[in-house]
């Protein structure tokens, strides 16, 4: 602040009574000040630094919570996965590898984990099986009100405890000794091990948790880490700072010493400017219709990396009896003219987006290979004549000469508005059906979706774990996210079959039948699988992108020369 002293002599020297020159002096002082500031330009905050193995990043939003027991938002999960460690972890190739658990065994409804002795909390004390028992019980405790408590329902009595019908101690998890954890499941669960990488299954130490008096992980001083990094700074809404955890059991595999996040802004143009100015090492928000930035990246010959973020989008029909869309033939008519390839390639035109053909995205794992490779869906055949026959039948069944105008609900993001416009013109042109576009802001869209005030709605789903079930059970009659109230005993039976066994062949077969049924009954029109494009600093290597959990993993990253 020394350069401010420049002003003092200028201000002091006003013996003359005239104020006009004084104004000029003030102006001159401001100019001088600006010059002084410019001379003072600093250069230490750079995107990457090889010598210290440190990088700088931006985030598009503030984490809503960093408490592994309660966090549900993408930004919270992203940070938590870097500062905490669960029983298992995913390696750079997305395979399950030991983390706090050294080895494990699963037989039917029982799972046993043997914990490593060198896994430590950041205060030096060992991570024990009791820490998992405490954390899992806290998740299902009704008083905690954890939104992801439902993930814990696979554990015996999880749901009953969460509903307040049973005491916490009844949860099917116990510590046989300090380093052996035994889990009793509600029923055989084929994807149980996948869940162990999910943050609600991470440990928490009871004495530390209770000592925070409800402020567990609210601020840096209320945190206790056992992951690859520790959080050393969290200025809410402004900055975060992660440093390598010296007591992490696998510290030799971690290369970065410092991850500095001094920028939080949801303005993607601003983040891209920061990247171009050499201030941040990765910009991962080139999502949606921000194609100007993609063009800018191409022009500058930046390294662009595209990856699926796991989300599948689709148009969902309202199947409530009073809605015209409850008519199967009407839906089939619309299905027969809808072409997701045209939508993705010609209308949206975002590089990398994959046209949707199924509820299940292409990356999901099946029995041995990818689910979609093992159970391919027939490509839709566009058939206008057939569509018109369906439409004719629909009109007869509905007893109308013309289909009344249908409402299509969407929230106010540009990509959704573009889709509604495309569908509006498509159905008018081919079937002479009018669509009324109902654009709402986020919460209002959710409300209308939930109460069923729509005929069609633009919806989507992001996976919670790496198994087709995270999508399949969406359209089970009991699922709260089944907005159109699709109610098919056949579909429900497929889901139950897949949920009641851990035989992967039986599970995948059942889910492939569910996949086909959704197409046959035209419950949804799959639109696209989302892809995120990122630009990265050439010196930064080893970034991993995932479809579930933290989208970007820095644990295996390093700065090269």
Partner 1 sequence: MLNYILKRLGMGVLTVWFIATATFAAMHLVPGNPLANEKATNAVIRANLERQYGLDQPVLTQYVIYMGNMLKGDFGIAFSEENRSVNDIIRETFPVSATLGLLSLLFATAGGVMWGALTAIYRNRWPDYLIMFLVILGISVPSFVFAGLSQFAILHLNKWTGVSLLPVAGWGSFRAMLVPALVLGLSTMAYLTRLMRSTMLDVANTDYIRTAHAKGLSTTRIFLHHQLRNAILPVITVLGPSIAIITTGGFVVESVFAIPGLGRYFVQSVAQLDYTVIMGTTVFFGAFLVLMVIAVDILYGFIDPRIRVEASR
Pick one of 2, 20, 51, 369: the residue that binds partner 1 (CB under 8 A): 20
Helices and strands, number each (H, E), in the chain: 18, 22
Contacts of 393 (CB under 8 A, 6+ apart): 329
Quick one: 506 exposed, middle or buried, by C-beta within 10 A (0-12, 13-18, 19+)? middle
Cβ atoms within 10 Å, residue 4: 10
- Tell me the per-residue interface mask from 534 to 553 with partner 1, x by CB under 8 A, - otherwise: --------------------
Cβ atoms within 10 Å, residue 480: 8
Q: Which of residues 423-482 bind partner 1 (CB under 8 A)?
A: 441-444, 446-448, 450, 460-462, 480-481
Pick one of 70, 307, 357, 372: the residue that binds partner 1 (CB under 8 A): 70
Pick one of 19, 118, 177, 404: the residue that binds partner 1 (CB under 8 A): 19
Residue 291 binds partner 1 (CB under 8 A): no
Pick one of 64, 244, 255, 413: the residue that binds partner 1 (CB under 8 A): 64
Q: Which of residues 217-246 bind partner 1 (CB under 8 A)?
A: 217-218, 235-239
| Residues 101, 89 contacting (CB under 8 angstroms) | no
Q: Over 125-154, what HEC string results?
A: CECCHHHHHHHHHHHHCCCCCCHHHHHHHH
Quick one: 19 exposed, middle or buried, by C-beta within 10 A (0-12, 13-18, 19+)? exposed
Residue 6 binds partner 1 (CB under 8 A): no
| Residues 302, 535 contacting (CB under 8 angstroms) | yes
Shortest distance in whole angstroms from residue 323 CB to partner 1: 19
DSSP state of 377: P
Pick one of 264, 294, 394, 458: the residue that binds partner 1 (CB under 8 A): 264
Residue 72 binds partner 1 (CB under 8 A): yes
Q: Which of residues 111-150 bind partner 1 (CB under 8 A)?
A: 142-147, 149-150
Residue 299 binds partner 1 (CB under 8 A): no
Shortest distance in whole angstroms from residue 469 CB to partner 1: 15
Residue 28 binds partner 1 (CB under 8 A): no
Pick one of 6, 62, 304, 502: the residue that binds partner 1 (CB under 8 A): 62
Report the C-alpha gap between 151 and 153 in whole angstroms. 6
Beta strands, E only, 246-353? 258-264, 282-286, 303-317
Report the DSSP beta bridge partners of residue 370. Answer: 365
Residue 214 binds partner 1 (CB under 8 A): yes
What phi-psi label fits residue 396: left (phi over 0), alpha (psi between -120 and 50 degrees) or beta? alpha
Residues that bind partner 1 in the complex, under the rule CB under 8 A: 1, 18-20, 23, 26-27, 34, 37-38, 40-43, 45, 58, 62, 64-65, 67, 70-72, 142-147, 149-150, 159, 162-163, 214-218, 235-239, 262-267, 269-270, 273-274, 276-277, 279, 441-444, 446-448, 450, 460-462, 480-481
């Amino acid at each position: 602040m020394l350069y401010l002293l420049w002003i003092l002599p200028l201000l002091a020297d006003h013996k003359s009574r005239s104020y006009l020159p004084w104004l000029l002096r003030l102006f001159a002082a401001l100019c001088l000040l600006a010059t002084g500031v410019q001379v003072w330009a600093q250069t230490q905050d750079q995107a990457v630094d090889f010598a210290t193995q440190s990088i700088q990043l931006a985030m598009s939003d503030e984490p809503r919570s960093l408490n592994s027991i309660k966090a549900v938002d993408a930004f919270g999960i992203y940070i938590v996965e870097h500062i905490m460690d669960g029983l298992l972890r995913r390696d750079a190739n997305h395979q399950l590898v030991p983390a706090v658990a050294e080895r494990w065994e699963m037989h039917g409804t029982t799972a046993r984990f043997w914990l490593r002795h060198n896994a430590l909390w950041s205060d030096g004390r060992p991570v024990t099986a009791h820490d998992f028992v405490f954390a899992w019980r806290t998740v299902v405790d009704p008083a905690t009100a954890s939104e992801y408590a439902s993930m814990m329902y696979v554990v015996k009595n999880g749901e009953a405890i969460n509903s307040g019908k049973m005491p916490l101690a009844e949860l099917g998890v116990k510590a046989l000794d300090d380093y052996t954890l035994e889990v009793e499941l509600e029923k055989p669960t084929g994807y149980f091990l996948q869940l162990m990488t999910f943050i609600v299954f991470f440990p928490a130490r009871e004495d530390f948790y209770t000592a925070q008096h409800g402020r567990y992980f609210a601020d840096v001083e209320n945190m206790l880490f056992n992951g690859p990094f520790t959080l050393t700074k969290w200025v809410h809404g402004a900055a975060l700072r992660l440093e390598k955890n010296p007591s992490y059991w696998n510290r030799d595999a971690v290369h970065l010493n410092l991850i500095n996040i001094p920028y939080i802004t949801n303005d993607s143009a601003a983040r891209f400017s920061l990247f171009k100015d050499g201030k941040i090492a990765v910009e991962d928000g080139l999502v949606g219709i921000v194609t100007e930035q993609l063009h800018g990246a191409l022009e500058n010959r930046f390294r662009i990396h595209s990856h699926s973020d796991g989300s599948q989008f689709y148009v969902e029909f309202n199947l409530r009896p009073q809605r015209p869309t409850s008519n199967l033939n009407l839906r089939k008519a619309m299905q027969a003219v809808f072409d997701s390839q045209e939508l993705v390639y010609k209308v949206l035109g975002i590089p990398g987006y994959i046209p949707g053909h199924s509820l299940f995205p292409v990356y999901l794992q099946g029995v041995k290979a990818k689910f979609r490779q093992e159970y391919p869906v027939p490509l839709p055949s566009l058939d206008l004549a057939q569509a018109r026959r369906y439409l004719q039948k629909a009109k007869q069944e509905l007893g109308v000469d013309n289909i009344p105008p249908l409402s299509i609900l969407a929230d106010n993001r540009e990509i959704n508005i573009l889709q509604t416009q495309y569908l509006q013109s498509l159905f008018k042109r081919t079937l002479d059906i009018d669509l009324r576009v109902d654009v709402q802001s986020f919460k209002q869209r959710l409300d209308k979706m939930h109460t069923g005030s729509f005929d069609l709605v633009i919806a989507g789903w992001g996976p919670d774990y790496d198994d087709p079930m995270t999508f399949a059970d969406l359209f089970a009659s009991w699922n709260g996210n089944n907005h159109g109230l699709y109610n098919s005993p056949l579909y429900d039976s497929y889901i139950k079959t897949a949920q009641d066994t851990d035989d992967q062949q039986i599970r995948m077969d059942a889910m492939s039948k569910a996949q086909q049924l959704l197409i046959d009954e035209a419950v949804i029109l799959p639109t696209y699988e989302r892809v995120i494009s990122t630009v990265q600093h050439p010196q930064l290597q080893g970034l991993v992108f995932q479809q579930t959990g933290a989208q970007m993993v820095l644990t295996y990253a390093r700065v090269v020369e």
